[in-house]
A and B are shown apart, each in its own frame.
Chain A
Amino acid sequence: MGKTLAEKIFDSHIADKPFEGTYVLKLDAVFCHEITTPIAINDLVSRGMDRVFDPSKIKAVIDHVTPAKDSKTAEQGKIMREWARRHNIKDFFDVGKNGVCHALFPEQGFVRPGYTIIMGDSHTCTHGAFGAFAAGVGTTDLEVGILKGVCSFKYPSTIKFVLKGKLQKGVYAKDAILYVISQIGVNGATDKVMEFTGEIVDEMSMESRMTLCNMAIEAGGTSGVCYPDMKTVEYLWPFIQKDFKSKEDALAEYSKWKSDSDAKFEKVIEYDLSKLEPMATFGNKPDQVKTVKEMEGTKVDQIYIGSCTNGRIEDLRIAADILKGNTISPNVRGIVSPATPKIFKQAMDEGILSVFHDAGFVVTNPTCGACLGMSNGVLAEGEVCASTTNRNFYGRMGKGGTVHLMSPASAAATAIAGYITNSKLFAGK
């Protein structure tokens, strides 16, 4: 009997099987940010167990509220900073070097095919784009991960999604994942690994695959995963070239991290997305999705382009392509947050930041802030935001505010119009 990708990763990382079906896995990396980690640190200190299992495997960033907005967030940053120093955690990213964790850590080469990764953040599933098992956890799992380098999971069953066809021009990974979630529901993959395959995924860049895997959690998925291929190798090459003679050798090694042809899946679901249109959410759940055409004319107050879902260079390029030579509607405010300093610099060098500036957007530093209503773009009661983020929960971006999730292309077009509308790049019927 063959194995799924997730089963292969589990079977190669067993620290313990304390009970039938419960696997305690050895972790290759523990990622930390300043919202969920300080309480873990304080608890370890109070228990007299202020240790880390391996400082080289712990990666830490201040990203949710940065630079600090008040005394409480300053304190959270301080706890992280001092902890990283006293444990010699070299990969710690502070103001000037910091960015949205799920964009920053892959960019730094911290994710490899076959890895086990946890973080106290639900969108950790993003890193499955590299063929890793990466899962969001709470503070207690994070705490034990920091201390012992292990985490418990139930043995995973996998739903395989085969995305067939070719996406139309102006249709992106974000539209594809919103469609998938709308089909299976917010509870449709709870406790399952969502494996994304098919020619549409093969065609996607690593950035797009990260967008796809990022929203697995919005269907309840433990992790989203894609199979490693030459695109994965190319992305990782600066970090792995010392380990392999050639890219082909790297690909041969990484190719073991895919499901066997006779693996047993919970379900296999095929979608032909050739006719998929740009999609957007309505309501307060990520499975409440319509076409942008159906949402046409919905007035918005704010546009937000950024986040771990769609704040990467590819996203900014697409949005800038639409914004170039245009100004945003006087009835809206536009906010763009390049997800990392590297992306910020690239966007600056390519003239993309000027396009955003000239169109009337404010360009903020890399941070998660607006996505969860913590800083840098909080909505007022009754306001509406067209957003490239991942959650349209009630009050998510500010108490009493409404969020419509969409792609960067649709968000840019909406910014110009002042209401939800398709981008000029989409000509499909």
Chain B
Amino acid sequence: MKNFKGKVLFLNRSDINTDEIIPAKYLTEITKEALKPFTLEDLKLDTFNPKTDLSGKAAIITRANFGCGSSREHAPWALEVNGINAVIAENFARIFRQNMYNCGMLAIELPKDKIEYLFGKYSGKETEIDIDVNSGSFIITSGGASEKISFEIDGFSKALVEAEGWVGYADKKY
């Protein structure tokens, strides 16, 4: 399994699209690593600076409809090469969510009130997360205090995370 433990980046906006995560002009790259310096460079969010805020993060917590728009898997890859293997949101665009699980990454959906709670309590503070896929929960920590929050993950998505992606899973099975 990939690493799901580390610092959290809060992106306080809904409908962040895949053009914002990685602009189309970089889709001519044919390695994932090449996307690293351009990740989130067109994100329309005043409080975010891609040059300083992305480094050292392992997970994103954001609002609704994250990853809408283009089907480009370059969006999860751009996050992955920056060390981010998990995104937690109210919901995701279907293709983006599937792309995340297909790469063995996590796209965790939480109810709106829980997302609101996480933003209210942790946004703007140095926050760490440790996600346990097996138990369907994560420990979130800030300023020495921790709490455990559970989430739902369907059997197929869990199997893809365990298999580190759909190619490995499908090759064995089909």
Listed in ascending order, the chain A residues whose CB lies under 8 Å from chain B are: 15-16, 18-22, 24, 35-36, 38-39, 42-43, 47, 49, 64-65, 70, 72-73, 75-76, 79, 120-122, 124, 135-141, 143-144, 147-148, 150, 152, 186-187, 190-191, 217, 220, 222, 284-285, 372-374, 391, 393-396, 399
Contacts and interface: CB of A to CB of B under 8 A. Distances in A.
A118 B19 CA distance: 21
B172 to A, nearest CB: 11
29 contacts: A20-B155, A24-B174, A35-B27, A72-B30, A73-B28, A79-B30, A121-B71, A122-B69, A122-B95, A137-B71, A138-B73, A138-B99, A140-B73, A141-B98, A144-B166, A147-B170, A147-B171, A148-B174, A150-B174, A186-B15, A187-B15, A187-B68, A220-B94, A372-B19, A372-B70, A374-B24, A393-B19, A393-B69, A399-B23
Contacts of A395: 19-20, 23, 42
A188 B54 CA distance: 30
Contacts of A217: 69
B102 interface: yes
Nearest to A72: B28
A144 B167 contact: yes
Interface residues of B, number: 45
B156 A16 contact: no
Most chain A CB atoms below 10 A, which of B19, B96, B155: B19
A180 B154 CA distance: 31
A138 B42 CA distance: 21
A222 B92 CA distance: 12
Contacts of B44: 284, 394
Contacts of A135: 95
Contacts, number: 150
Nearest to A73: B28
Contacts of B92: 190
Interface of B: 14-15, 17, 19-20, 23-25, 27-30, 32, 42, 44, 64-65, 68-73, 76, 91-96, 98-99, 102-103, 154-156, 159, 165-167, 170-171, 173-174
Contacts of A49: 171
B14 A18 contact: no
Given A140-B102, A186-B65, A36 B28 contact: no
Nearest to B154: A19
Q: Sorted from nearest, which 5 A-B pairs have the closest CB atoms?
A: A138-B73, A138-B99, A140-B102, A19-B155, A72-B28
Contact of B93 (A79, A144, A220, A373): A220
B171 A138 contact: no
Contact of B23 (A143, A144, A373): A373
Contacts of A399: 23, 25, 42
A373 B24 CA distance: 7
A423 to B, nearest CB: 28
A141 B102 contact: yes
B72 A396 contact: no
Given A21-B154, A139-B73, A150-B170, A187 B65 contact: yes
A201 B27 CA distance: 35
Most chain A CB atoms below 10 A, which of B72, B91, B94: B94
Contacts of B174: 15-16, 24, 144, 148, 150
A217 B170 CA distance: 26
Given A70-B28, A73-B28, A393-B19, A140 B72 contact: no
B97 to A, nearest CB: 9
Nearest to A393: B19
Given A39-B30, A144-B166, A394 B159 contact: no
